[in-house]
Amino acid sequence: MSSIAPGEAGLPEDAPLAAVRRGALVESVHRGRLAVCDPGDNVLDAVGDPEAYLYARSSAKPFQALPLVLSGAADAFGLTGEALAVACASHSAEEPHLAAVRSILRKAGLTEDDLQSGAHPPLYGPEAAKLLRGGEEPRPIHSNCSGKHAGMLAVCVHEDYETATYREPGHPLQRRILDLITEVCGLREDEVLVAGDNCGVPAFALPLRSFATGLARIATGEGLSEELAGAALRVRDAMCGHPFMVAGTGRFDTELMDSTDLLVKGGAEAVFTAGSQEGWGMALKISDGAERAVRPAALAALSGRGVEVPEAVSTVRGLHGEAVGEIGPLI
């Protein structure tokens, strides 16, 4: 039987950040690590080693949407703020999300058939149930990433790049995105590691610290060229102006952007990022990838930076509706 890694050695340092309590005991615990940086790449706060890598996953979407603005495609196609926000989204496939994705495709002269986001049931339960009851299979537009893919396709049409191959790491759009992530986060290209994301486009791994710095820059425009700063602030304003489009009903990113002026974007395997116009960015990774730990850990970390946030402790209920425990922060 093979083992895929050499034990604790080489795993990033972390600390307990959230706990699930039942009765008198902690039943389960979630560890994590985080970095807070200013646009000058200075570490303001950290848990664990800020130089250790993480996969940004969908938290990279605001960066992946930059070419949509920089290329002029967003203007050429007259994309709305909602559409730009959904291009940065991990959306729940509610009707407004699908409408925004369709608007991008239509304006770029494309159809749902051009989307290569892969298919999974809508993240919003009632929409998933509706599809199932109607005997419909989930389509690529229902994927939480379909806005990102539509945005990528719009850039390809505008730039006369091939649309059929837009997911490949060597495609000019994907190379441009890698260059931009590298530039915004202050890294050399060989410092960003590329693997495959679940939706079939490149996934980027980079140091927690560099990612936090990138978020601080996207949220403020500081530390970027004038052109890049303009694009970053436009992406920021689209997301902050349309929190629902970035996630959906009952989702943490939407809740947090609704109640603060932060730029917020989560990613698969329990990545959380935030950018403050006051001059800092935060990147947080729950080590075990558990989504349920993101909310309490992120709220505690944001509270520690003076952000007024919603209550971080949630009640866990049993099948009879009774309280059986709670989940909350440990920091």
Choices 58-66, 75-83, 107-115, 323-331 (CB under 8 A): range interacting with a second copy: 323-331
30 contributes a contact to a second copy by CB under 8 A: yes
Residue 60 C-beta: closest distance to a second copy, Å: 14
Judged by CB under 8 A, the chain residues 208 through 247 that form the site for a second copy are none
> Coil, strand, or helix at residue 124?
coil
Question: Total residues at the site for a second copy (CB under 8 A)?
Answer: 72
Least distance (Å) between residue 117 CB and a second copy = 7
Per DSSP, 114 falls in state G
**Toward a second copy, which CB reaches closer, 87 or 309?**
309
Per the rule left: phi > 0, alpha: psi between -120 and 50, beta: everything else, 121 is: beta
Helix (H/G/I), strand (E/B), else coil: 1? coil
Site for a second copy in 137-156 (CB under 8 A): 143
| Torsion sign over Cα 193, 194, 199, 201 | positive
- Please choose, out of 27-35, 150-158, 182-190, 213-221, the segment that lies near a second copy by the rule CB under 8 A: 27-35
The beta strands (E) that lie in 84-220 are given as 193-196, 202-207
**8 A C-beta contact, residue 147 and residue 64:** no
Q: Interface residues for a second copy in 183-212 (CB under 8 A)?
A: 193-200, 203, 205
Q: Which of these segments, 40-48, 82-90, 157-165, 307-315, binds a second copy (CB under 8 A)?
A: 307-315
List CB contacts of 269: < 8 A, sequence separation 6 or more: 55, 57, 285, 286, 289
Q: How far is the CB of 268 from a second copy (least distance, A)?
A: 9
Which of 135, 160, 190, 306 forms a contact with a second copy (CB under 8 A)?
Answer: 135
**Selected binder of a second copy within 13, 27, 227, 258 (CB under 8 A):** 27
Neighbours of 299 (CB within 10 A): 23
Specify which residues 247 forms β-bridges with: none
16: contact with a second copy by CB under 8 A: yes
CB nearer a second copy, residue 69 or residue 307:
307
Asked if 64 interacts with a second copy (CB under 8 A), we say: no
Least distance (Å) between residue 224 CB and a second copy: 27
Q: How far is the CB of 281 from a second copy (least distance, A)?
A: 21
CB of 306 to a second copy, least distance (A): 12
Residues 263-282 that bind a second copy (CB under 8 A): 269-270
287 sits near a second copy (criterion: CB under 8 A): yes
**Residue among 21, 102, 139, 305 that touches a second copy (CB under 8 A):** 21
| 22 contributes a contact to a second copy by CB under 8 A | yes
**CB 56, min distance to a second copy, A:** 11
What's the alpha-carbon Rg for the chain, to the nearest Å? 19
Q: Is 1 in the site for a second copy (CB under 8 A)?
A: yes
Query: HSE of 85 in the Cβ direction (CA atoms, 13 Å)?
Result: 26
Q: Does 300 bind a second copy (CB under 8 A)?
A: yes
Q: How far apart are CA 174 and CA 155, in angstroms?
A: 11
What is the rounded distance in angstroms from the CA atom of residue 90 to the CA atom of residue 280?
23
Residue 53: which region, alpha, beta or left (left: phi > 0; alpha: psi -120 to 50)? beta
What residues have CB less than 8 Å from 218, skipping those under 6 apart?
Answer: 62, 63, 184, 232, 235, 236, 263, 275, 281
